[in-house]
Amino acid sequence: MKVVLLQDIKGTGKKDELVNVSDGYARNYLFPRKLAVEADNKVLNELKAKNDAKEHRKEMELGQAKELAARIDGKTVTIPAKVGNKGRLFGAITSKEISDVIAKEFGVEIDKKKIEMDDIKAVGDYKATIKLYAGITSGVSIHVVEKEK
């Protein structure tokens, strides 16, 4: 019997997946616990519409990520910081600070968790990689300068 799963079931399948199970398993276990519904035309059409919507959403997110990558790729971000002796910073430049500066300068909100960089503890130029989407990354140059007093 073909059923559409309403939840993930270990050993059977994932949510919204069309699977073939035995009649007894479906009638005695899956249906009473509302873990699956029988795959009739109505349910299959709903499943197809849901999958199409999910695919469309992925395409939209991918397009937005490519546009975002084009806007910020290769740009330079200047960050002023308090400096002690020998060009060392008080503390370090964090991905949160970089995210804030990118948002202010380019009008692009980027999650700090998506920014990968080395530790920045001195004045100078650095590179950071921003992971915007699966397979889409963008490079940003970071220029750390001494904050004017």
Computed over its alpha carbons, how large is the radius of gyration of the chain? Answer: 25
Mean pLDDT computed over every residue of the chain: 90
Q: How confident is the model at residue 149 (pLDDT cuts 50, 70, 90)?
A: low
Ordered domains of the chain (ranges, CATH): 2-60 (3.40.5.10), 68-146 (3.10.430.100)
Q: How many CA atoms lie within 13 A of 64 on its CB side?
A: 11
In sequence order, which residues have a C-beta less than 8 Å from that of residue 62 and are 6 or more positions away? Answer: 133, 136
Interval 43-88: pLDDT, tens:
999 999 999 999 999 999 999 888 888 888 888 989 888 888 877 8
